[in-house]
Amino acid sequence: MELYDLKQDPDQMNNVANHPKYEQVQAELIARLMQELKASGDPRLVDDGKFFETPPMAGPLPGGGPKPNRKR
């Protein structure tokens, strides 16, 4: 996870995600994100993200799938 204090670090060079000072901010942002993902029915939260771990999103396609249109 990455978290940046844009007032102190506008160039986003210092990741403060593991800094104790930002622990509460990070927890609040995670809670807001999860609330929005649930409210929108995001498929990453359904069946532990299985949708993205099965073809055609991941792994080999049935029948081998389309072949690249390039010569080697």
Residue 66 lies in a domain: no
| Count of structural domains within the chain | 1
pLDDT at 67: 73
Q: Cβ distance 1 to 17 under 8 Å?
A: yes
List per-block mean pLDDT (blocks of 10 residues) for the chain, which spans 72 residues.
96 97 96 94 85 76 72 70
pLDDT at 62: 67
Query: What whole-number distance in Å separates Cα of residue 68 and Cα of residue 71?
Result: 9
Residue 53 lies in a domain: yes
pLDDT at 34: 94
Structural domain harbouring 15: 1-57
Of 30, 40, 24, give the one whose Cα is nearest residue 1: 30
Residue 35 lies in a domain: yes
CA distances from 5 to 9, 32, 63, 66, 67 (A): 6, 18, 49, 45, 45
pLDDT at 72: 65
Residue 48 lies in a domain: yes
